[in-house]
Amino acid sequence: MSDSRAPFHRIAIGTDHGGFEMKNRLVAFLESEGHPVIDCGTYAGDPADYPIYAGRVARAVSSGLADAGILLCKSGNGVAMVANRHAGVRAAWAEDEKGAALTREHNNANTLVIGSEHLRGDLIGTVRAWLSTPHEPGSRHGRRVAMIDELDEVQVSALPALRLIQATASPWLAGVPAELADSENFAPFIARHHLRGATAGRAPLAAEVTSNPEHWRSSIRRLESERLDGEALAQALYLQHVHKVADALASTFARTDGDEGLVAVHVPIASNATAEEIVADARNVVGTLERPNTIVSVPALPATLEGISALASEGHSILLRGIVSPRALDVALNAWFDGLAVRTAKDQAIHTQRLVPSVPAATLREDCQLEGLVSAASALLTTMNRHAKGRRYNDLALSGAALPRMAWDCEGAKETGVELAAALFAPLTIQIHDTDFFEVPEGALDSAEHPLRDWLTRSTKSDTAPSSDIEQLQRAVPAELCKREADAAAELTAAIKAVLQN
């Protein structure tokens, strides 16, 4: 981890034949400066394989046996590649004193790499500069080094959420419990499981207000004093919950430049809504959010797909719920790119906007069975990849457009294998609704009997079509999401009225 000083005392040093003479000079110098030296070889000038000696140094640094390492070879490239595959090692190449100092100041490098054929400065001066330069963890450079350190935690952890990150999935907590968001445990929960985002729903909030009215009474009374009642009061309480979740993820949003730390906010939409009504509802919600890391969440109705272009052209980000068919995804992506193109034509920024099409993985599995889920997932990914490689997106990318990122919504999933397999089908975002998932014992997912093994095998072999009508399912799923969101809004309003009446 980051230190505000150069904490190096015991130094491990290693090289192949390309840096043998330099190594001998450095061992003598380091010992003269009072540094205990672990000489990891090579011990002669004969041809030697650099991975052996770079690995020895890297293991010494990674394990804590050495405070720091120095690696040499002719180019410096090979030993650096080996070292940086070890947890906790930050190996950086330098060719002179200035470069060596910057690897400490900016990168908190704990292993210095020198290419004997590319060294421009003085060897001893370069190493001395590296040893004497401190790193400041409170600076912007310290924040970036902390992001590197987080990758180490991911690689060595067996916690379920971190295993998802290993599969390049971005774990979100869907339907954040209001009790958790209100507690002092939420920030540690996010840090422990490296949550990358969340969705904030009304249904969990309504359930908690109903089950624990005393906890919510003061907040509801305070909102009532602002002359709010009925649906307006319910919306205000919901937005308070959204803001708490968004604030807890704000640091993730900031340090990833808006790629992560997003919170999706649901917009209730009637099944017969027009595109204009959907856009208006979304605008109203966006106007009340007051947090830069919130994005509007809407069901993927035909009217919504039509309205995406307008929302994108106005600078909004969208989570599109209930995408099942490749055709619906294709329409959504084209509409999104249409909206971004309008903005670029006006020289307006698009780099902060995000589109997240969300696929109900558990619903697909239930309706299409396992083979159908694999086939549907493959078809959706094919559509996404075609757009990602297309000229239209590439042109927009030059203006800063982020690639839309698929999400797998695992609501209703009963097995951890469903979540994990879905993440591997679309390694971008996965929405997990059950907080218990995150508390599976470390190492439990390593079992050879775990469903993930079977799912991975099947995913590489299935070419069969889904067993149900995907287009029919595409019409049914978003309509059901609309109904559920409307019911949740009504339940929250009723729960608040009950609190006020007692």
- For the annotated catalytic residues, the residue numbers are 73, 106
For residue 295, list its beta bridge partners.
Answer: 264
Which of 335, 329, 332, 395 has its CA nearest to residue 359?
329
Q: What are phi and psi of 256, to 5 degrees?
A: -105, 10
Contact 263, 245 (CB under 8 A): yes
Tokens of 191: 């840090």
Contact 205, 238 (CB under 8 A): yes
Axis crossing angle, helix 470-501 with helix 326-345, rounded to the nearest 10: 70
CA dihedral for 61, 196, 428, 257, sign (positive or negative): negative
Which of 367, 473, 364 has its CA nearest to residue 411?
364
The type of residue at 122 is D
The secondary structure of residue 183, as a DSSP letter, is S
Residues 6+ apart with CB under 8 A from 402: 259, 351, 353, 354
Which of 240, 267, 232, 236 has its CA nearest to residue 181?
240
Distance in angstroms (rounded) separating the CA atoms of residues 315 and 328:
22
